[in-house]
């Protein structure tokens, strides 16, 4: 990782709704010397570049470049992988697996050939399976590849908890862990506000907390059913992740990584609280989970392994 952060280059892989919302969020957040847009349609990329360039005059000095060739993405510090098919109405993220695993096989090695030291942030769904796959098909050091995982689910959960708890979502320390999808689970037993367990608040009830979690888990379907795709929440999540990298922020975020003896589970990418700095994931934190939550973690890993090994290209 470069020490001189004023030359930090982010490459967005896949200039669709998520990729472009991320690019816009990064531009407004600032701190990035260059945002490179990679996609297959050069004509569209040129329009996206010009539109973003106009926004630089009102935000931060940032070079915008475009490419339809991964080999041109040299000197990148982080790749943000948003290329691939999006979830259709009623489709689970896991049903997307076979389609999008192939794109990872094709692109991930090419990207890391262009910039071998770059971090690779997976966003395309099913993000945990794709993170696992990217780790498998590239020769990278631990912590270099990770997925946005349940950072978005956690943000959604905190937002819905804040609808009945008396503080801003930022101050509700409650995580959604496991899969970004149907096999996620809320870590309610450790959730707290101001070092007081949620259960200590008169406004709290387990039913309301589970309802907040269900709203978070079903959010993608609700939004896709209404307007076709989700992109603002994930755009803000990507900006949060990239800022923690560019500032060497060591933020604790729920991100997808290949776990190694996490409550006895190994060999699959799922979300756990991670410390994220300039060199990627520094460590996974062992969240305090009660027996039921540990069981959910185990089920999540078993379910993902089942789907991963059934759907990965032969
Ligand atoms: P989109 O259809 O708007 O954009 C996808 C882009 O990928 C398109 O520009 C397409 O041309 C490009 N693409 C497809 N195959 C490619 C290839 N082989 N090489 C290069 N580019 C390729 O979709 P979107 O709404 O931007 O969603 C993108 C992905 O992000 C989806 O998989 C979606 O499910 C996922 N997503 C993830 C989260 C999360 O929390 N992880 C949240 C929202 C969406």
Spell out the domain ranges in the chain: 5-147, 151-311
For residue 132, how far is its CA from the centre of ligand 1 (angstroms)? 18
Ligand 1 pocket test: pick from 43, 68, 72, 84 the residue with the most ligand atoms within 8 Å of its Cβ: 84
pLDDT tens, 269-301?
999 999 999 999 999 999 999 999 999 999 999
Region 101-115: mean pLDDT is 96
pLDDT above 70 as % of the chain = 96
For residue 104, how far is its CA from the centre of ligand 1 (angstroms)? 12
Q: Which residue's CA is minimally distant from atom 36 of ligand 1?
A: 124
Residues with CB under 6 A from ligand 1: 14-19, 39-40, 82-87, 103, 123-125, 127, 148, 152, 180, 229-231, 234
Tokens of 46: 């040129």
Region 28-56: mean pLDDT is 97
What was the pLDDT predicted at 2? 53
For the question of residue 33 being annotated catalytic, the response is no
What was the pLDDT predicted at 93? 62
What was the pLDDT predicted at 172? 98
Helices (DSSP H) in the chain: which residue ranges?
17-29, 42-56, 97-114, 127-137, 151-162, 206-217, 219-227, 232-246, 291-311
Region 156-181: mean pLDDT is 97
Region 171-200: mean pLDDT is 96
> Do residues 192 and 173 touch, judged by C-beta distance below 8 A?
yes
Alpha-carbon distance of 10 to 79, in angstroms, equals 6
Tokens of 237: 């999540």
Q: Which residues make beta-bridge pairs with 193?
A: 196
Give the atom of ligand 1 at the shortest distance from the alpha carbon of 123.
Answer: 41
pLDDT tens, 221-275?
899 999 999 999 999 999 999 999 999 999 999 999 999 999 999 999 999 999 9
What was the pLDDT predicted at 6? 67
Burial class from Cβ neighbours inside 10 Å (0-12, 13-18, 19+) for residue 40 reads exposed
pLDDT of 3 higher than 70: no
Confidence of residue 148 (pLDDT cuts 50, 70, 90): very high
Average of per-residue pLDDT values in the chain: 94
Region 142-161: mean pLDDT is 98
Tokens of 114: 């262009």
User: What is the second-level CATH architecture of the domain 151-311?
Assistant: Alpha-Beta Complex (3.90)
pLDDT of 187 higher than 70: yes
Region 128-151: mean pLDDT is 96
Among candidate residues 107, 99, 94, the one with its CA nearest the CA of residue 137: 107
For residue 124, how far is its CA from the centre of ligand 1 (angstroms)? 6
Per the CATH hierarchy, to which homologous superfamily does domain 5-147 belong?
NAD(P)-binding Rossmann-like Domain (3.40.50.720)
Give the atom of ligand 1 at the shortest distance from the alpha carbon of 20.
Answer: 26
pLDDT of 1 higher than 60: no
pLDDT tens, 27-38?
999 999 999 999
218: CB partners within 8 A, 6+ apart: none
Q: Which residue's CA is minimally distant from atom 31 of ligand 1?
A: 86
Burial class from Cβ neighbours inside 10 Å (0-12, 13-18, 19+) for residue 222 reads exposed
What was the pLDDT predicted at 139? 81
Among the listed ranges 13-27, 65-79, 128-142, 298-312, which one has the minimum average pLDDT value?
298-312
What was the pLDDT predicted at 90? 73
> Do residues 41 and 59 touch, judged by C-beta distance below 8 A?
no
């Amino acid at each position: 990782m470069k020490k001189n952060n004023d030359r930090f280059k982010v490459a967005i892989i896949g200039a669709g709704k998520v990729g472009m919302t991320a690019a816009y969020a990064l531009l407004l957040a600032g701190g990035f010397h260059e945002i490179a847009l990679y996609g297959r349609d050069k004509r569209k990329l040129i329009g996206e570049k010009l539109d973003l360039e106009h926004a630089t005059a009102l935000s931060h000095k940032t070079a915008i470049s475009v490419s339809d060739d991964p080999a041109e993405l040299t000197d990148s510090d982080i790749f943000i992988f948003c290329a691939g098919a999006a979830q259709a109405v009623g489709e689970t993220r896991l049903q997307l697996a076979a389609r999008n695993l192939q794109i990872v096989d094709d692109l991930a090695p090419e990207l890391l050939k262009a910039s071998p030291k770059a971090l690779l942030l997976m966003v395309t769904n099913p993000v945990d399976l794709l993170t696992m796959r990217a780790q498998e098909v590239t020769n990278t050091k631990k912590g270099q590849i990770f997925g946005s995982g349940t950072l978005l689910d956690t943000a959604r959960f905190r937002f819905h908890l804040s609808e009945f708890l008396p503080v801003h979502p930022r101050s509700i320390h409650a995580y959604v862990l496991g899969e970004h999808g149907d096999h996620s689970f809320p870590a309610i037993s450790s959730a707290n506000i101001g070092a007081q367990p949620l259960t200590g608040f008169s406004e709290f009830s387990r039913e309301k907390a589970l309802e907040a979690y269900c709203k978070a888990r079903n959010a993608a379907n609700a939004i896709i059913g209404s307007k076709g795709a989700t992109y603002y929440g994930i755009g803000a999540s990507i900006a949060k992740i990239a800022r923690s990298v560019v500032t060497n922020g060591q933020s604790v975020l729920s991100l997808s990584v290949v776990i190694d003896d996490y409550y006895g589970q190994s060999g699959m990418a799922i979300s756990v609280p991670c410390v994220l700095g300039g060199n990627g994931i520094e460590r996974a934190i062992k969240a305090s989970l009660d027996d039921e939550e540990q069981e959910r973690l185990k089920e999540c890993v078993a379910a993902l392994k089942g789907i991963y090994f059934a759907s990965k290209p032969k």
